[in-house]
A and B are shown apart, each in its own frame.
Chain A
Amino acid sequence: MMKTPLLRAIFLGLTVGALEAVANEPAPARPGFNRDIRPILSDACFHCHGPDQNTREAGLRLDVRDDATSATESGAVAIVPGHPEKSEVVRRILSTDEDDRMPPDRSHKSLTPRQKEVLSHWIAQGAEYQNHWAYEPVQRPLVPTPNDHPVDAFIRQRLATENLRAAEEADRVTLIRRATLDLTGLPPALVEVDAFLNDTAPGAWERVIDRLLASPHYGERMAIDWLDAARYADTNGYQVDRDRSLHPWRDWVIQAFNENKRFDQFTLEQLAGDLLPNATVAQRVATGFNRNHMINEEGGVTEEEFLANYTADRVETTATVWLAQTFNCARCHDHKFDPLTQRDFYSLKAFFHNVSEKGAGDYAKPANVSSPPFLPVPGPDLAAKISAIKTDIEQAAPDQSPEGKDRVAALTKSLEEAENAVPVTLVMDDAMPRDTFVLLRGAFDQPGEKVTAATPAIMPPMSDSLPRNRLGLARWLVDPTHPLTARVTVNRYWQMLFGTGLVATAEDFGSQGEPPSHPELLDWLAAEFISSGWDTKAMLRLLVTSATYRQSSKFTPAARARDPDNRLLARGPRFRLPGEFVRDQALAASGLLVTKIGGPSVKPYHPPGLYEQITEGSGTTVYVPGTGEDLHRRSLYTYWKRSVPNPAMMLFDAPFRETCVMRRPRTNTPLQALNLLNDPTYVEASRRLAQRMLLEGGASTSSRLTHGFRLVTARHPRPAEMTILTASLERTLLDFQADQAGAEALLHVGEAPTQPGLNAAELAAYTTVASTLLNLDETVTKE
């Protein structure tokens, strides 16, 4: 959870923060290697005494017990199990001699007295090592209280040990808004709210969840996170940054989520759909996942250099998304903290190195066909048209008269035109086998040892029966015994709902990542996910039907003091919505949202002149906003130009989509305030929300204000809120009645029409109040 430094300072300074609490606790009587020791050794020692043999000093390796307990080059033994007084490690960490003390000053690392004590205890007790938790097989633990919901059983067991109590259940309105936003990215409709409030029969919540999971908007919501991970964009990136065509892949993702495609199959098709027997067009489209990387079309680039970048990007993205390993660290040298070698990196690269692609794009060619391999994907209309023209040509061909030849020529021309209009999508193939070498220091022009496709040595071996290609790799990843894929995936789902993963570093399950807050729960969920048949909807249903998810998100003094980041979940999640949700919610509440799913990306309102200032050259240099429906589609369809991404989304922490991102920060800035106040998107949405208040909200001021408030927050305003809103409306109304020109100016922002016959001053006043509603903290927050 990202918090501003000042807020963190407040927590640390004025309350007892969780970290500080740990630091002040006495050293554990029986330190565990994974929980207590590895984090210390990894951070302070592994850089020089860890997995990377090229930078290892004094011949000492501390991440492997046999090495750590053997004599080093100097003859000293770093760790003598049972004998801290004989262990060189202990002597050196306690040394007061600056030249002797470890870690050395130049490393800018130091150990706290508590950490020194923990290390000594652990050595005294025998210095037992454990394998890193993330590489150990998933074991399905017993649920502590088998009659409870499994999530609640694990969470409450931990809360009890911390003397914390779970919060009360949130009220139904809060709950339906929370779940609807979480599972569809949209606010609940008022009829849906009312239906839930009136459904007093048992199972009402489950019925809401099942309806949401069946909604076509569920797939759109799930796609947003996946697009970040896959670094999806509509342009190639780098300097030229021309358009590319991968939206058929984006639509495949939405559909796959909506169909609840098993996650193992979802994986197989995206990594290796083209290699499946009798691969369908859709399965080949799915492989666009690994073509989402940037492509350089700048003049004069060295093909080999960028080919090396593209393949490295695939390794890093695949390793992050499925394994949560920071493999990028092993591109130039062995990993400093995790047992991943540079050889492992290039052995993985060999899986992705056989594509009939080019290292450099070619901007002499039309953008959509400059980056092979690609696949034509005609929609049904275009396919029918092409088929019809072909039939016409066949019929006309026998006619060798001049008229007949003319007709064939004309038909051939229209066939070409139609075929050129067919959208393409970038895909993977294995059509150009290449040798793969370790690249010394990661440099594209310094090949070292030749390697063949293989999975990382530290992980379970790849079965001999699997082919050494992307399909084999994908099958290895989704093998039920794989220790990482299921853990990493359920952790992402947890993060999506609770704001922070059980492993907070969702992209790093390595030794420098955070250990899981609830390791048994993580393993139970991973085991459940696998045994359910990798059923994503079932997993989400399981999580949101827990009492833990349904808790009120109000802060309590006890929980805030003990657990400011709410990692123990003594309350429900409360955090700012992603940028896409913020905009989509405003469009939905104002009735402007166009719910059409899929298709080419669209260009909604955009600050004029932005492209011209920043970019120019061979890419798209002018942003031409769309009209009509294009202005009000869901935000995941907004055209994404990497060099100048949509500014509103960037202000709300969307990534550039140049590299794989598994979690977004959540900032709180004045630029976000300016966006919500002044972007024509929100001024227009305020006007149309005002119109709904006037047309649907009944005759009285209070009923109209209540209607608007409910459209945005789902709940009824409280009396104190009503007092402010009413006074605001009355003041604003008088104000605009005295300034018709000002009212008209406000009402002319945005293309969407206003219902004729409405009083301008009144509509302007309601528009101002509607803008207030769209700017509420509660509105931009899931609570």
Chain B
Amino acid sequence: MHPDPLLHLTRRHFLSRASTGIGAAALASLLQPSLSATPSGVSLPHFAPKAKRVIWLTQAGAPSQLDLFDYKPGLRQRYDQDLPDSVRNGQRVTGMTAGQARFPIAPSVFTFHQHGQAGHWLSELLPHTARLADDLCIIRSMNTEAINHDPAMTMLQTGSQVAGRPSFGSWLAYGLGSENADLPAFVVMISRPSGKGNPQPLHERMWGAGFLSARHQGVRFSPGRDPVLFLANSPGITPERRRAMLDDLAGLNKIKLDDYQDPEIQSRIDQYEMAFRMQSSVPELADLSKEPASVFDRYGPESRKPGTFAANCMLARRLAERGVRFIQLYHRGWDQHSDLPEHIRTQCYDTDQPGAALVEELKERGLLDETLVIWGGEFGRSVYSQGQLTATTYGRDHHPRCFSLWLAGGGIKRGTLIGETDDFSYNVIKDPVPIHDLNATALHLLGIDHTRFTVRHQGRDYRLTDVHGNLIQAAIA
């Protein structure tokens, strides 16, 4: 007598069910069933979601708000003047500029224009993003606590500067699971700058699951033979040989299951079947060769090179189409302590056109309404120059007190501008948005009350937003 019908599932039965899309216990692990219950007993989502998924276009290294989004024409007259002490007001700067004799103001060398009905001011560096102006909600009043990259990126991704908390994607993989039985719920892709800029080092922790189970961590897709680590069969092992070997393996594991009755054995059998399905679903997903030339043209010349931000944006659209819950791209190289005007051009060349193409494609395919797209980095950059300031070049140091970021789709109010900074893009003077508010709002759009989405660890109920977070009402449609 077996009280547990799952233990009686035969492999054939399992496979026939799996082939119809929603598998059985395979989903229990890497792929969470949709609409799961959290251990606190709360079913997710808490209310009807506007967004089903998130595409986070993370700009690692911190893009300069002063040269892209936060137009400060008045600074032209203050070129090379000292930043007034009353603005800095004794706030700390990093050790890289703390020793500078002066904090000379470096106005952006780039021109800005207004775009769309919304009238968003955008830098000349973002001609493609400018086309989207009326779809965007731009926040100029983001701010954070950390002043160095690692703690700041950890804060942006996990809501805490201290290592060990789950990333946003892991929270969603845990809470909402996947909509696709053959792909992970949380996928990460990383690109390097095509220019010379300093490629920002990242850290696996940023897409880690923290104290959630490791199966909720981001699965990184790489360009090349193995889009997922160890996905490709060994040389000499054809798919037919793998299939036959897995049948033998399942047969042997089934004998063990009959003997021991441990449900973990059934789960392992299922995980091997899932692995086999991923061996076809992932390469099919990663194969851009069937995309028409017109699509590549839209994403720009870099899109034909695997592993670029442009190619990853195309993949992001394909992942969204297949129901992946959280798609996180990292583009490295925004840390422009020197020669900013030169390096930011190549960064924008890498990211402007593909990011805009992604949003437009989602829109045309009817996916934008259910996909929240977020574009931004871990903090902003200083109005004063780091190192030498000339008429044509300057550097900018880290600046956590304000930075800019845009949102699109997924229940975001189109053509909105939120927040304001002072004349120096130094301090926020209106509607500050801490990272916890951004995360609270993103969860809200996904149908989740951030105050009720908790996981117990070390006796405490943890949240992505810790004990903070207010909805950015003005951003919600």
Interface window among B32-40, B115-123, B363-371, B421-429: B32-40
Does A615 lie at the interface of the complex (its beta carbon under 8 Å from any beta carbon of B)?
A: yes
CB distance from B396 to the nearest CB of A (A): 13
Which of chain A's residues have a CB closer than 8 A to the CB of B251? 724
Q: Which residue of B lies closest to A656 (CB)?
A: B205
Residues of chain A contacted by B149 (CB below 8 angstroms): 239, 298
Inter-subunit contact B245/A667 (CB<8 Å): no
Residues on B with C-beta less than 8 A from A7 are 25, 28, 263-264, 267
Alpha-carbon distance A296/B162, docked complex (angstroms): 13
B25→A613 contact, CB < 8 A: no
A364 within 8 A of B: no
Proximity bits, A720-739, B CB within 8 Å = 1, else 0: 11001101100110010000
Flag the segment in B48-56, B101-109, B270-278, B435-443 that touches A: B270-278
With contact pairs A238-B150, A302-B92, A617-B201 given, residues A746 and B459 touching in the complex (Cβ less than 8 Å): no
B202:A668 contact, CB within 8 angstroms: no
B16 touches A (CB below 8 Å): no
Tell whether A563 is near chain B: CB-to-CB under 8 Å: no
A677 and B233: CB pair below 8 A? yes
Interface flag for A203 (CB, 8 Å)? no
The interface residues of chain B lying within 8 Å CB-to-CB of A720 are 255
B238 within 8 A of A: yes
Q: Which residue of A lies closest to B452 (CB)?
A: A108
Is the beta-carbon distance between B28 and A772 smaller than 8 angstroms?
Answer: no
Interface-lining segment among B3-11, B136-144, B407-415: B3-11
Tell me the A392-425 residues at the B interface (CB within 8 Å): none
* The one of B205, B229, B332 that contacts A674, using a Cβ cutoff of 8 Å: B229
Smallest CB separation, A772 vs chain B (Å): 5
Indicate if the CB atoms of A674 and B231 lie closer than 8 Å: yes
Complex Cα distance, B224 from A744, in Å, reads: 23
Stretch at the interface among A118-126, A191-199, A510-518: A510-518
Tell whether, in the assembled complex, residue B95 and residue A724 are in contact, meaning their CB atoms are under 8 Å apart: no
**Residue on B nearest A724 in the bound complex, by CB:** B251
Give the residue name and chain of the B residue nearest to A728 (CB): B248
A555 near B: Cβ within 8 Å?
Answer: yes
B95 pairs with A299, CB closer than 8 A: yes
Enumerate chain B residues within 8 angstroms of A240, measured Cβ to Cβ: 201
A-contacting 9-mer, from B63-71, B81-89, B207-215: B207-215
Residues 290-307 of A at the B interface (beta carbon under 8 Å): 294, 296, 298-302
B236 x A743 contact (CB < 8 A): yes
List chain B residues, Cβ under 8 A from A671.
30, 219, 228-230, 275
Please, how many angstroms separate the alpha-carbon atoms of A656 and B211 in the complex? 11
Query: In the bound complex, do residue B205 and residue A772 qualify as a contact, i.e. CB atoms below 8 Å apart?
Result: no
Q: Size band of the A side of the interface?
A: 35 or more
Does A678 have its Cβ within 8 Å of any Cβ on chain B? yes
Given contacts A5-B32, A7-B28, A302-B92, contact A326 B204 (CB under 8 A): no
B166 to chain A, nearest CB (A): 12
Whether B459 and A669, one on each chain, are in contact in the complex, defined by CB atoms closer than 8 angstroms, is no
Q: CA of A672 to CA of B271 in the docked complex: distance in angstroms?
A: 8
Are A643's CB and B3's CB within 8 A?
Answer: no
Measured in the bound complex, the distance between the Cα atoms of B29 and A415 in whole Å is: 57
Interface membership of chain A positions 722-764, coded 1 if the CB is closer than 8 angstroms to chain B and 0 otherwise:
0011011001100100000011111111000000000000001
Let me know if A694 is at the binding interface, CB within 8 A.
Answer: no
Is A91 in the interface zone, CB < 8 Å from B?
no
Query: CB-CB < 8 A to A574: which residues of B?
Result: 260, 262, 264
CB neighbours (8 Å) of B96 from chain A are 299-300
Residue contact B460 to A512, C-beta cutoff 8 Å: yes
Q: In the complex, what residue of chain B is closest to A443 when comparing beta carbons?
A: B145
**Contact assessment for A614 and B459 in the assembled complex, using a CB-CB cutoff below 8 Å:** no
Given contacts A7-B263, A298-B150, A555-B261, contact A507 B458 (CB under 8 A): yes
> Closest CB of chain B to A5's CB: distance in Å?
6
- Say if the beta carbon of A554 comes within 8 Å of chain B: yes
CA distance A777 to B268 in the complex (A): 7
Partner of B235, one of A238, A679, A745: A745
Q: Flag whether B27 is at the interface (Cβ < 8 A).
A: yes
- How would residues 346 to 382 of chain A score, 1 for a CB under 8 Å from any chain B CB and 0 otherwise? 0000000000000010000000000000000000000
Q: Per-residue 0/1 for A655-676: is the Cβ within 8 Å of any B Cβ (1 yes, 0 no)?
A: 0101100000101111111110
A643 to B205, CA, bound (A): 7
- Whether B252 sits at the interface, judged by CB under 8 Å, is yes
Decide if B201 touches A512 in the complex (CB within 8 Å).
no
Contacts of A615 in B (CB 8 A): 201-203
**Which chain B residues lie closer than 8 Å to A296 at the CB level?**
148, 150
C-alpha gap A445/B91 in the complex (Å): 11
Cβ contact of A656, chosen from B27, B28, B163, B452, cutoff 8 A? B163
Measured CB to CB, the closest approach of chain B to A694, in angstroms, equals: 17
CA distance A575 to B268 in the complex (A): 12
Complex-state Cα separation, A771 to B204, whole angstroms: 29
Which of B149, B192, B219 has most chain A Cβ within 10 Å? B149
Residues of chain B within 8 A (CB-CB) of A747 are 236
Q: How far is the CB of B207 from chain A (nearest CB, A)?
A: 10
Which bucket holds chain B's interface residue count? 35 or more
Q: Is the CB of B30 within 8 A of A669?
A: yes
Among B202, B262, B275, B397, point to the contact of A673 (Cβ < 8 A): B275
Answer yes or no: B164 CB below 8 A from chain A CBs: yes
Q: Choose one: B1, B28, B163, B232; the contact of A658 (CB below 8 Å).
A: B163
* B97 interface hit (Cβ, 8 Å): yes
Stretch at the interface among A475-483, A520-528, A631-639, A645-653: A645-653
Smallest CB separation, A237 vs chain B (Å): 8
Q: A1-22: contact bitstring with B at CB < 8 Å (1 yes, 0 no)?
A: 0101111011000110000000
Q: Is the CB of B201 within 8 A of A667?
A: no
B226 within 8 A of A: yes
Q: State whether B244 touches A731 (Cβ < 8 A).
A: yes
In the complex, what residues of B have CB within 8 A of residue A270's CB? none
Which chain B residues lie closer than 8 Å to A329 at the CB level?
458, 460
Find chain B residues with CB under 8 A from A228 CB: none
Q: Which residues of A contact B150 (CB under 8 A)?
A: 238-239, 296, 298
A507 and B398 alpha carbons, distance in the complex (Å)? 37
When A6-B25, A298-B150 are in contact, do A554 and B261 touch as well, CB less than 8 Å? yes
**Residue in A507, A510, A658 with the greatest tally of chain B CB atoms within 10 Å:** A658
Q: Would you give the shortest CB distance from A402 to chain B, in whole angstroms? A: 47
Residues of B within 8 A of A14 (CB): 3-5
Task: Judge whether B237 is part of the interface by a CB distance below 8 angstroms.
Answer: yes
A301 and B241 alpha carbons, distance in the complex (Å): 54
With most chain A CB atoms within 10 A of its CB, the pick from B37, B205, B230 is B230
A298–B238 Cα gap in the complex (Å)? 46
Q: Is the CB of B234 within 8 A of A746?
A: yes
Q: Flag whether B393 is at the interface (Cβ < 8 A).
A: no
Contact pick for A745, options B199, B232, B236, B275, CB 8 Å:
B236
Which residues, 238 to 280 on A, are CB-close (under 8 Å) to B? 238-241
> Quick check: A326 and B205 within 8 Å, CB to CB?
no
Q: Which residue of B lies closest to A652 (CB)?
A: B214
A624 interface residue (CB < 8 Å to B) = no
- Is the beta-carbon distance between A553 and B230 smaller than 8 angstroms? no
Can you list 24 A-B pairs, Cβ within 8 angstroms, ordered by A? A7-B264, A10-B4, A15-B3, A15-B4, A108-B454, A239-B201, A296-B150, A298-B149, A300-B397, A574-B264, A607-B230, A616-B201, A619-B201, A665-B214, A668-B264, A669-B214, A677-B230, A677-B233, A677-B275, A742-B236, A749-B234, A764-B236, A772-B252, A777-B268
Given A668-B271, A771-B245, 8 new contacts (CB under 8 A): A4-B267, A556-B261, A557-B2, A651-B214, A667-B29, A743-B236, A746-B236, A777-B269
A residues within 8 Å of B by Cβ?
Answer: 2, 4-7, 9-10, 14-15, 42, 108, 237-241, 294, 296, 298-302, 326, 328-329, 336-337, 360, 445, 505, 507-508, 510-513, 553-557, 560-561, 574-576, 607, 609-610, 613-617, 619, 642-645, 647-648, 650-651, 653, 656, 658-659, 665, 667-675, 677-680, 683, 718, 720-721, 724-725, 727-728, 731-732, 735, 742-749, 764, 768, 771-772, 775-778, 781, 783
By Cβ-Cβ distance, the 8 closest A-B pairs, closest first, are A512-B459, A746-B236, A6-B28, A300-B94, A300-B96, A300-B95, A745-B236, A745-B235
